[in-house]
């Protein structure tokens, strides 16, 4: 039985995958230099470029709604949240071209998701290095383009997500009920992890842990927004008790990081039921949602496979109902 959305649309049965990616097959670099762009190499193939270098080969699953929907049907996925490929976020680059790139990506995502609005919901891009511009683009994404929220990186140039300078962005996201996916970006990973050839396995979870640790440590404020850490929260679930120990010595009387981690959400993309269980314990059974990294080779396939070893009620929450609750917050936020 379909569940009525608060927008009045029906959401089909099946899992809700909050972590998938897409990119325009003709994405243009917004300025000269080491900006991302896409070169089409065949009707169903393209390559993502960073300046003059090839970053990744991709295929039409990145831009074809039809291919995406066929894969979703085969995998039992009702709805995907579709976000930019993190390498394109460009939080470390000049703000004006970054804002132009965000708008270009958001127009593409609006078109892609508009082809199947009951199955595809976008998470847009925002130029977070210019907080005022990011707030405006976030508002446009949610209010004008109907997006569920946005995707952001774990670091904005040299600014941590915990820096109060970003408060206007998080405040606006909270007011909109927006879903904010926090995703590590290759360019900000520890060079040691890259040097070891472990950017994916070590660099990304470490990077997410640093950003997440900042959010639950300093400054002592509530985010009040659906902030979802990718990849099960990276290494954060494992290190929270150690953060507690340090915080209790450095800042006695303040809420502990483990308590504040309950303000965050994460996806289920851990590839391992034991790791997922720890994420559930840290963030809460109602704060973990299915995520796969579709359509990339690292994706979990079939979607939510890790839930096969999970209690059925918990699997249902992670696979669907927790994400429905998050989407309802976007739809039900008061409009000015
Ligand atoms: Zn991803």
Structure confidence by residue, pLDDT tens digits, 163-194 = 999 999 999 999 999 999 999 999 999 999 99
State the CB neighbour count (10 A cutoff) for residue 164: 10
Cα–Cα distance for residue pair 32/306, rounded to 1 Å: 43
What DSSP string describes 212-271? Answer: HHHHHHSS-----SEEEESGGGTTHHHHHHHHHHHHHHHSTTSPPHHHHGGG-EEE-TTS
Cα–Cα distance for residue pair 334/322, rounded to 1 Å: 21
Largest pairwise CA distance in the chain: 60
Angle at 129 between CA 164 and CA 187, to 5 degrees: 110
The pLDDT value given to residue 76: 95
3-state SS of the chain: helix, strand, coil percent to 5? 45, 20, 35
Q: Are 319 and 46 in contact (CB under 8 A)?
A: no
What DSSP string describes 5-20? Answer: PTTSPEEPSSEEEEEE
Compute the distance from residue 20 Cα to the ligand 1 centre, in Å.
6
Q: Enter the pTM of the model.
A: 0.96
Read off the pLDDT of each residue in 113-133 and give the average, rounded to a whole number: 97
Compute the distance from residue 227 Cα to the ligand 1 centre, in Å.
15
Compute the distance from residue 251 Cα to the ligand 1 centre, in Å.
34
The 3-state DSSP class for residue 45 equals: strand
Compute the distance from residue 222 Cα to the ligand 1 centre, in Å.
26
Compute the distance from residue 293 Cα to the ligand 1 centre, in Å.
5
pLDDT digits (tens, 9 = 90+) for 12-39: 889 999 999 999 999 999 999 999 999 9
What are the backbone dihedrals phi and psi of residue 66, each rounded to the nearest 5 degrees, phi first? Answer: -65, -45
Compute the distance from residue 138 Cα to the ligand 1 centre, in Å.
20
Q: Are 266 and 279 in contact (CB under 8 A)?
A: yes
Residue 320 has pLDDT above 50, yes or no: yes
Compute the distance from residue 182 Cα to the ligand 1 centre, in Å.
9
Q: Mean pLDDT score of the chain, rounded to an integer?
A: 94
Q: Are 7 and 13 in contact (CB under 8 A)?
A: no
Cα–Cα distance for residue pair 295/297, rounded to 1 Å: 7
CATH class of 14-21+63-332: alpha beta
Cα–Cα distance for residue pair 285/16, rounded to 1 Å: 16
Compute the distance from residue 232 Cα to the ligand 1 centre, in Å.
11
Compute the distance from residue 193 Cα to the ligand 1 centre, in Å.
18
Tokens read off for 68 = 């995406």
Tell me, rounded to whole angstroms, the distance of Cα 281 from its chain centroid: 21
Q: Are 116 and 73 in contact (CB under 8 A)?
A: no
Compute the distance from residue 113 Cα to the ligand 1 centre, in Å.
18
Compute the distance from residue 263 Cα to the ligand 1 centre, in Å.
21
Q: Which of 233, 234, 230 is nearest to 296 (CA)?
A: 230
Residue 221 has pLDDT above 80, yes or no: no
Q: Containing H/E element for 83?
A: strand 77-84
Compute the distance from residue 208 Cα to the ligand 1 centre, in Å.
12
Residue 57 has pLDDT above 90, yes or no: yes
Compute the distance from residue 61 Cα to the ligand 1 centre, in Å.
14
Q: What are the residues whose beta carbon lies below 5 Å from ligand 1 (ion)? A: 293
Compute the distance from residue 151 Cα to the ligand 1 centre, in Å.
10
Compute the distance from residue 17 Cα to the ligand 1 centre, in Å.
11
pLDDT digits (tens, 9 = 90+) for 226-259: 999 999 999 999 999 999 999 999 999 999 999 9
Compute the distance from residue 86 Cα to the ligand 1 centre, in Å.
7
Compute the distance from residue 122 Cα to the ligand 1 centre, in Å.
14
Residue 3 has pLDDT above 70, yes or no: no
């Amino acid at each position: 039985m379909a569940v009525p959305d608060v927008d009045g649309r029906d959401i089909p049965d099946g899992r809700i995958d909050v972590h998938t990616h897409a990119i325009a097959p003709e994405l243009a670099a917004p300025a000269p230099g080491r900006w991302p762009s896409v070169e089409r190499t065949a009707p169903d193939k393209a390559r993502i470029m960073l300046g003059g270098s090839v970053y990744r080969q991709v295929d039409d699953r990145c831009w074809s709604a039809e291919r995406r929907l066929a894969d979703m049907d085969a995998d039992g996925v009702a709805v995907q949240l579709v976000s930019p490929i993190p390498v394109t976020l460009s939080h470390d680059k000049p703000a004006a071209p970054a804002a132009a790139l965000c708008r270009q990506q958001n127009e593409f995502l609006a078109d892609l998701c508009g082809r199947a609005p009951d199955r595809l919901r976008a998470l847009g891009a925002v130029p977070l290095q210019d907080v005022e511009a990011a707030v405006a683009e976030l508002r446009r994404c949610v209010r004008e383009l109907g997006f569920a929220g946005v995707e952001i990186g774990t670091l904005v140039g040299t600014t941590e997500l915990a820096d109060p300078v970003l408060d206007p962005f998080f405040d606006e996201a909270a007011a909109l009920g927006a879903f904010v996916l926090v995703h590590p970006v290759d360019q900000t990973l520890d060079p040691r992890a890259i040097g070891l050839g472990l950017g994916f396995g070590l660099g990304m979870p470490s990077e997410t842990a640093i950003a997440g640790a900042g959010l639950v440590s300093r400054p002592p404020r509530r985010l009040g927004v659906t902030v979802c850490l990718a990849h099960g929260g990276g290494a954060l679930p494992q290190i929270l008790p150690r953060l507690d120990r340090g915080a209790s010595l450095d800042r006695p009387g303040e809420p502990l990081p483990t308590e504040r981690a309950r303000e965050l959400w994460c996806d289920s993309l851990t590839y391992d039921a034991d790791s997922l269980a720890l994420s559930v314990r840290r963030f809460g059974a109602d704060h973990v949602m299915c995520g796969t990294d579709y359509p990339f080779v690292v994706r979990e396939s079939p979607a939510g496979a890790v839930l096969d070893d999970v209690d059925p009620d918990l699997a249902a929450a992670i696979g669907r109902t927790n994400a429905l609750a998050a989407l309802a917050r976007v739809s039900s936020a008061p409009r000015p």
